[in-house]
Chain A
Amino acid sequence: MRLEVGITGKTFRSAAGGTHEVLAPIKFALQSGEVGVLIGPSGCGKSTMLRIILGLDRDFAGQVARPPEARIGMVFQEPRLLPWRSVEQNVRLAAPNISDAKLSELFRILELEAHRSHFPGELSLGLARRVALARAFAVEPDLLVLDEPLASLDDALSGRLRDEIATLVASRPVMTLLVTHSIDDAVRLGDRLFFLSPRPARILAEVPIAIAREARGDAAIAAIKAGLARQVQGEQGDDDAGPDVS
């Protein structure tokens, strides 16, 4: 399967009557088994782009080719769980065909076993995010979209969840699109990194990472990050809107 994004532009009309350009032309493709990472400053239009890719926003110029039979798993920025359904029901409603064994396995990996019958209002944000991850993985997606899934979690927890995402992504062929602010997450999870400009967003640089995800040790990751930093500094000479690697 293959996701092809060919957006030629997206504007939106504000209440005051002006038109704002949110997205400049953006073109990229993603294969099964690949993790693409979108990195860009806040408010650059990443979420708008995701909404277009997911088919939630059809008012744009260009086209997005996504296999019509592709199952989508999505982790929104906020968990977006149904507050009136238990954790288990939230997952089962999105993935009605999941087997009991698979569900138990997923809950075990994400350490949610004790919370199966809790309502989302009784969970911390960290737990709710894990439920959202469980829901996205439970549908066995062909396209997995993660919109800052690890934001506002402490380092230890986000590290563990990142490893879990890596495990789950490795367990089946899936096109994954990750939006993040963290270079560390991007380098550890991504196969190809797309650096976006401030609004209207366009792709400043596309950086492939050649080393297989499992083989990336701490030294390799430090080296990739150093390479990125050099590349960014080199680019800043001709483009002052370079990606913010901090």
Chain B
Amino acid sequence: MLRLVSFALFLAVWWTAALFVGGAKLPSPPAVLDVMIAEAASGALFLHLGATLARVALAFVLAMSLGSAIGYLMGRVKLADRLGDPWLILLLNLPALVVIVLAYIWAGLTEAAAIAAIAINKLPTAVVTLREGTRALDRSLDEMASVFAMPRWRAFRHVVLPQLAPYVAASARSGLSLVWKIVLVAELLGRPNGVGFEIGVAFQLFDTPRLLAYSLTFAAVVLVIETALVQPFEAHANRWRPRAA
């Protein structure tokens, strides 16, 4: 309910601003909606959205699984931490644009280059978060598992993973938002489809309604995925915690 009010307020502010600024710079909500419907009817909207989502999904899964594994290793093994740390700092501070441009130069304007570049941008934050989570693991529970001779996999699944779950959720949350941002840049620079490509075209034509139509549809999809997937996972992972006030 509160969410609806909040959304209505956003529309109202947009509409008022559009009236003051004029349609060329900021088209009104109905104008943008018209473009959305037209693009949806032609199928182009779904094609581009689908291409972007596929890239997001692939890069996200790749970065999360690889990043979590590396982070866990660096949290557990001191040598891995020492060896990996300089690379981590380098990757953390490398601008996304540099990674994307280099990936396109070295691997060509290919799908693999785009996905790898997006994944590399997200990887270090996943590593850092999971490393912290691993460092914070409760040693006394490890001891308990070892005394009761729990097999490795069972101990990992029931003793370690639940402790890492909040870190995985946090890393997924921040990582997803990072991937959403970067994927469009990668598409703008070197892909012939996707929301980023369309926004690039709209920018060259100064076609604001089209630009907004794609951006807002994209934002709506992000919102749905966050509320339908990420938040329930977080709630499930934290169900045993006493509720905060």
Contacts and interface: CB of A to CB of B under 8 A. Distances in A.
Given A80-B140, A82-B141, A85-B158, A121 B147 contact: no
Contact of B149 (A71, A85, A89): A71
B162 A82 contact: yes
Contacts of A96: 154
A222 B144 CA distance: 37
A93 B147 contact: no
Contacts of B147: 54-56, 72, 74
Given A72-B148, A94-B150, A80 B240 contact: no
A188 to B, nearest CB: 26
Interface in A34-80: 51, 54-56, 71-74, 76, 78, 80
Nearest to A121: B242
Contacts of A73: 148
A interface secondary structure, majority: loop
A84 B240 contact: yes
B146 interface: yes
B146 to A, nearest CB: 7
B32 to A, nearest CB: 45
Interface centre among A76, A80, A85, A119 (most CB of B within 10 A): A80
B241 interface: yes
B161 to A, nearest CB: 9
A56 B146 contact: yes
Contacts of A83: 240-241
A189 interface: no
Contacts of B150: 93-94
A94 B242 CA distance: 24
B144 A74 contact: yes
B159 interface: yes
B144 A80 contact: yes
A139 interface: yes
Given A119-B240, A121-B240, A121-B241, A82 B146 contact: no
Contact of A84 (B140, B154, B162): B162
Interface string B132-162: 0000000011011011111000100011001
A80 B154 CA distance: 17
Contacts of A74: 144, 147-148
A121 B140 CA distance: 17
B141 A80 contact: yes
A37 to B, nearest CB: 20
Nearest to B237: A84
A74 B144 CA distance: 8
Interface string B204-245: 000000000000000000000000000000000000111000
Contacts of B240: 83-85, 119, 121
A131 to B, nearest CB: 12
Nearest to A136: B148
Nearest to A50: B147
Contact of B140 (A76, A85, A119): A76
B140 A78 contact: yes
Contact of A94 (B143, B148, B241): B148
Interface in A107-166: 119, 121, 135, 139
13 contacts: A55-B147, A56-B147, A71-B149, A72-B147, A72-B149, A74-B144, A76-B140, A76-B144, A80-B143, A82-B162, A83-B241, A93-B150, A121-B240
Which 10 interchain pairs have the tightest Cβ spacing?
A84-B162, A94-B148, A84-B240, A80-B144, A74-B147, A119-B240, A56-B143, A54-B147, A93-B158, A72-B147
Given A82-B158, A83-B241, A84-B240, 4 more contacts: A55-B147, A72-B147, A72-B149, A93-B150
